[in-house]
Amino acid sequence: MENDRILLEVSNLTVNYELEDETVEAVRDVSFYIEKGKTLGLVGETGAGKTTTALSILNLIPDPPGVIRSGKITLGGESILDKTKKEMTRIRGKEVSMIFQDPMTSLNPVFTVGDQIAEALMIHEGLDKSAAFRKAQEMLEIVGIPGERAHEYPHQFSGGMKQRVVIAIALACNPQLLIADEPTTALDVTIQAQVLDLMKELKKRYGMAMLLITHDLGIIAETCDYVAVMYAGQIIERGTLEEIFNTARHPYTEGLFNSLPNIADRKERLKPIPGLMPDPTKLPKGCAFAPRCPYASPSCIEEMPEDIHFGGSHFCRCSAYKDPKFHIEREDINE
Amino acid sequence: MSDKLLEVKNLKKYFKTPKGQLHAVDDVSFTIERGKTLGIVGESGCGKSTTGRCIMRLIEPTSGQIIFDGVDLASLTNRQMRKARKDIQIIFQDPFSSLDPRQTVLQAIAEPIIQNKLITGKEAIEKRVLELMETVGLAERLINSYPHELDGGRRQRIGIARALSVEPKLIICDEPVSALDVSIQAQILNLLEDLQDKLGLTYIFITHDLSVVNHFSDDIAVMYLGKMVEKAPADELFANPMHPYTRALLSAIPVPDLRYRQERILLKGEITSPVNLPDQCRFLKRCYSSCENCRGKEPQMVEVKPGHFVACHLCSR
């Protein structure tokens, strides 16, 4: 891998939320990278640490109680965590933008949408008010909203339109990296399809990289180049889209796929993962998935698994693979 | 002769708004046989939840008949209706706001039993609650827990236990798994399926998630802006969708399998307001295959194949 193709690199990131009488281990020793122009999908269930990982990249972890205990984050070769507050302000919205899940609450109700897009342009691009507003109207056109609606307020837009406005703000300064945290979860399916389509098109047009956070494997399948699966604060498997969907290795990844209704055979019974995600304040010593894992051996609960590599970028964090003959059931099906 | 449990005829619910009449549910008719599941799908604002609530008369319908087990619920007095609700229960979407935070699991599940005077005596009630908890897969030790101590999946199990406590014939499931994570979703869906087999329950399954509804339903009805636009057996609907809206909706589901790539029909625009609608096809503004005919009167549901109904001028010709 040539180094200059890598835009973002996160290594050994550990983030805790340290409360008075307990510590939530939200992100535990997470490492990944994103190449220029590529999309990495971060998938996992509620509480897996997806959003905390994303907020760390922007250095936006609420502190207190959030503390980045260790790790390094480099963007275009520069270390994010060493930046001053002022330098960070210049990076956010300019180099890295973020779209949040809920478009209803991420816009300011008392400013017109045009002003809100223009604000980013005035801060980062140094445009004056009227030039910024004209550019804001252009941005609206790009996301499929008539430019004259720039004078309207957020409440005059529907949910899908608001998310388009948020996308327009995020893309106004042509960022290198877009972090999208569940960008379509609050939207209806037909609107979701429109927004995903728009994001794909804009990504191609501007050549930006994207970190897409979602719990929906269907969205991952449609938009991502690489996939990282998170469980209890760790990336437990990572690979290309094909590797994860066609030759998944980790028992949890298998469990996620089995939980979904099968489109080919709709009468097939769902196979849920038994049990619940462990309490992040009382994580087990060994593999966090072991208590729910059908393949677990007694040693899984005791010792922390290591990353096992399968060639290329595909790895999974599971001790069972120390036995070279081990494979999950899903593999039989796909062969 | 099929065994109809519920027959809804020309159900309408209009709300008065300052701008005019909002047609939340507009002339919806369907039937459900005993022991079957009807899925109602559609996007937010299409009237699927209002339909569910009108059946229980949690919202008073404007007009229409709701014939449940031979009795027209719409004609009952409030007092009679309260008794009738013993046979129809509802499970809500959000297990976080549908439970009283000050009630323990025991109190929450016992409440409908006490209200309906099904069992008397503290011990007998507690025994029944424990039985119900076992049925829905809640551990006995949780009997004195409060909702805030439990996760979403367990809370939804309490909601299901409450619904089951009065031994209903019909359960309306209004987005019962949309607030849950996928691995927990599958647990709850399996539970609902097992309960149907064991207790012979009939379900109305309201959801926006098409893959879930496909897995779960015998028949599927698609709603758009207060109207039912298509209804067919689940296999038929997925194999042979006819209404342009249904086709777009099905093509919009992101499929978590790289082997199934499908051509996507992207709809332009968004759902229009259901206030003061003209007498023409409601989907016309977003339709990609409309013709001159479509500007005329609103299309009615027509049976194009046995069991497959569709309300579209093009399809019914």
* Chain B interface test: which of A270, A271, A273, A277 (most B C-beta within 10 Å): A270
CB contact (8 A) between residue A276 and residue B210: no
Inter-CA distances, B28 with A133, B12, B278, B314, Å: 47, 7, 17, 21
Residue B26: helix, strand or coil by DSSP? Answer: strand
pLDDT at A333 over 60: no
Percent of chain B whose pLDDT exceeds 90: 62
Interface with chain A: mutation pick from B215, B251, B261, B285, highest number of A CBs within 10 Å: B215
What confidence score (pLDDT) does residue B295 get? Answer: 84
DSSP 8-state code for residue A204:
H
Residues 6+ apart with CB under 8 A from A141: A147
The CB density around residue B103, as the number of other CB atoms within 10 Å, is 15
Predicted confidence band of residue B245 (pLDDT cuts 50, 70, 90): very high
User: Is the model's pLDDT at A240 over the cut of 70?
Assistant: yes
Query: Which helix (H) or strand (E) element contains residue B28?
Result: strand B20-33
Is residue A90 a contact partner of residue A124, using CB atoms and an 8 Å limit? yes
pLDDT digits (tens, 9 = 90+) for A171-203: 888 899 999 998 888 788 888 888 888 888 888
Say if CB A65 and CB A17 are below 8 A apart.
Answer: yes
B221/B252: higher pLDDT: B221
Asked if B186 and A272 come within 8 Å (Cβ–Cβ), the reply is: yes
What is the average pLDDT across A156-176?
89
Which of the four pLDDT bands, split at 50, 70 and 90, describes residue B1? very low
Q: Do B256 and A188 touch (CB under 8 A)?
A: no
Residue A263 has pLDDT above 80, yes or no: no
Between A4 and A182, name the one with better pLDDT.
A182
**Between residues 203 and 222 of chain B, which touch chain A (CB distance below 8 Å)?**
208, 210-212, 214-215
| Residues of chain B with C-beta less than 8 angstroms from the C-beta of A272 | 183-187, 190
B12 CB burial (10 A radius; 0-12, 13-18, 19+):
middle
Average pLDDT of chain A is 89
| CA A244-A250-A253 angle, 5° bins | 60
> Does A324 sit behind a cis peptide bond, omega within 30 degrees of 0 on the bond before it?
no
Q: Residue A271: its chain B contacts at CB < 8 A?
A: 186
Nearest Cα residue to B153 out of B110, B187, B129, B130: B187
| B179 against A97, higher pLDDT | A97
Q: ipTM strictly over 0.85?
A: no
CB contact under 8 A, A194 and B210: no
Q: Assess whether pLDDT exceeds 90 at residue B6.
A: yes
Scanning every residue of chain A, which has its alpha carbon at the shortest distance from the alpha carbon of B215? Answer: A266
- The amino acid at residue A254 is E
| Position A323 confidence tier, pLDDT thresholds 50, 70, 90 | confident
Instruction: List the one residue out of A50, A67, A45, A53 whose CA is nearest residue A289.
Output: A45
- Predicted pLDDT at A331: 58
Instruction: Give me the residue from A159, A190, A257 closest to B252, CB to CB.
Output: A190
Q: In chain B, which residues have their Cβ closer than 8 Å to the Cβ of A188?
A: 43-44, 208, 271
The DSSP line for A140-181 is HHHTTS-GGGGGS-GGGS-HHHHHHHHHHHHHTT--SEEEEE
Are A279 and B195 spatial neighbours (Cβ–Cβ below 8 Å)?
Answer: no
Which pLDDT tens digit goes with each residue over B195-221?
Answer: 999 999 999 999 988 888 888 899 999
Nearest CA in chain A to B150: A276
Q: Please write the tens of the pLDDT for every residue from B150-189.
A: 888 899 999 999 999 999 999 999 989 888 888 888 989 9
- Quote the pLDDT of residue B78: 92
Alpha helices in A20-174 (DSSP H): 50-57, 85-91, 113-125, 129-142, 159-171
Task: Give pLDDT, residue A335.
Answer: 45
The tokens 């290198």 sit on which residue?
A176
- Within chain A, strands assigned E span 6-18, 23-35, 39-43, 66-75, 78-79, 96-99, 177-181, 209-214, 226-231, 234-240, 307-309, 315-317
- Average model confidence (pLDDT) across chain B: 90
Give residue A4's pLDDT band: very low, low, confident or very high (50, 70, 90): confident
Beta-bridge partners for A307: A317
Per-residue pLDDT at A3: 65
Closest CA to B212 of B244, B245, B178: B178
3-state secondary structure B181-245: CHHHHHHHHHHHHHHHHHHCCEEEEEECCHHHHHHHCCEEEEEECCEEEEEEEHHHHHHCCCCHH
* Chain B residues near residue A222 by CB distance under 8 angstroms: 254-255
pLDDT reading at A332 higher than 60: no
Tell if the CB–CB gap between A259 and B258 is shorter than 8 Å. Answer: no
Query: Please, are residues B289 and B278 in contact by the beta-carbon 8 Å criterion?
Result: no
Between chains, do B253 and A273 touch, taking CB under 8 Å as contact? no
Determine the average pLDDT of the residues in A313-334. 82
CA gap A318, A258 in Å, rounded: 18
CA B194/CA A272 separation, integer angstroms:
14
Instruction: Show residues of chain A in contact with B185, CB under 8 Å.
Output: 259, 272
